[in-house]
A = this chain, B = another copy of it.
């Protein structure tokens, strides 16, 4: 038992990863209620009991599935470095994430959004993520209704993502992300107000 191709810890880690991937995909596709442990296990090619053994409950599995995404949604794209914090910069970053979203938005985010209207935990998570984004935006918007404007900007983003990724409106299918970003930019700029940087 000295040398082993896959140490048990490593093997377990990979199995967990497969389960989480399958869970994210199914949660994102049909939402919390309709995604069953059995179906997730089948998709991950493991035994349903194993899923329970690893994650304890369906609710726990769901939280694990969307957790990682919560943070990287909050940071926008993958680059949360020291880019500018001006309103224009933030708008561009949001439009950028939209671009990323079109192709392959992180499935954890989609899983959370898919269930946010019908699953209380998902709603709480969505409010937290959006709240964090609104906080950021508020700081970079000057003027009277900064926080309200920031909130409206995020609701616009939610609306476009819902229409595009979740409702899959025909009118938005196959439209290049840059095109949507181009049309949306003036609308978001109007909400940030005059940028006095």
Contact = CB atoms under 8 A, between A and B. Distances in A.
B34 A152 contact: no
Contacts of A116: 117, 167
Interface stretch (A8-16, A52-60, A74-82, A141-149): A141-149
Nearest to A138: B171
Given A149-B183, A167-B127, A169-B127, A31 B118 contact: yes
Nearest to A155: B163
B30 A118 contact: yes
Contacts of A115: 117-118
Quick one: copies of this chain in the complex? 2
A182 to B, nearest CB: 9
A185 to B, nearest CB: 9
A30 to B, nearest CB: 7
A34 B187 contact: no
B169 A130 contact: yes
Contacts of A163: 130, 151, 154-155, 158
Interface of A: 30-34, 113-118, 123, 126-127, 130-131, 134, 145, 147-152, 154-160, 162-164, 166-167, 169-172, 175, 179-180, 183-184, 186-191
Given A33-B33, A155-B163, A155-B164, 14 more contacts: A31-B118, A118-B118, A131-B169, A131-B171, A134-B171, A147-B171, A148-B172, A148-B175, A148-B180, A149-B183, A156-B159, A157-B159, A158-B162, A190-B190
Rank and list the top 8 A-B pairs by shortest CB-CB distance, nearest first: A159-B159, A151-B171, A31-B118, A155-B163, A187-B187, A186-B190, A33-B33, A155-B159
